[in-house]
Amino acid sequence: MTVDYGFDLHTISISEAVFAQVRTSVPVTLQGQGFPVEWVMEQDEWSFNCGAPGALHVFTDTGRDVFEGSLGDAEVAVQEV
């Protein structure tokens, strides 16, 4: 799943089982792989369906809001592993 917040793209890979939970509006929060901001790594967290069905909020451990919107705004690509 990928979100574009205007400056960069952020992606998280999730299992088929977790994606099934997300599609059925189960609240799920996952840690991403992290990304550098001004040469410092920040841990990203992805919250699905928290607060409302279909909601998506991506933020970092430092409080940076990366993306807030709906799952319909994100790009979903299914890849077999």
Domain assignment present for residue 62? The answer is yes
Task: For residue 78, tell me if it sits in a domain.
Answer: no
**What are the helix (H) ranges across the chain?**
16-23
Distance of CA 68 to the CA centre of its chain: 9
Which amino acid is present at 34?
A: G
For the chain, the domain total comes to: 1
* Residue type (1 letter), 40: V
pLDDT value, residue 57: 92
Tell me whether residue 21 is in a domain: yes
Is residue 30 included in any domain, yes or no? yes
The parent domain of residue 42 ranges over: 2-73
Residue-wise pLDDT for 8-51, tens only, equals: 778 888 888 998 999 999 999 999 988 888 888 999 999 999 99
pTM here is 0.84
Residue 22 domain flag: yes
Instruction: For residues 2 and 71, give the distance between their C-alpha atoms in angstroms, rounded to a whole number.
Output: 10
In a domain, 38, yes or no: yes
Instruction: Answer for the pair 43, 35: CB distance below 8 angstroms, yes or no.
Output: no
Query: Is 69 a member of any domain?
Result: yes
**Is 45 part of a structural domain of the chain?**
yes
Q: Closest by alpha carbon to 81, among 9, 10, 13, 3? A: 13
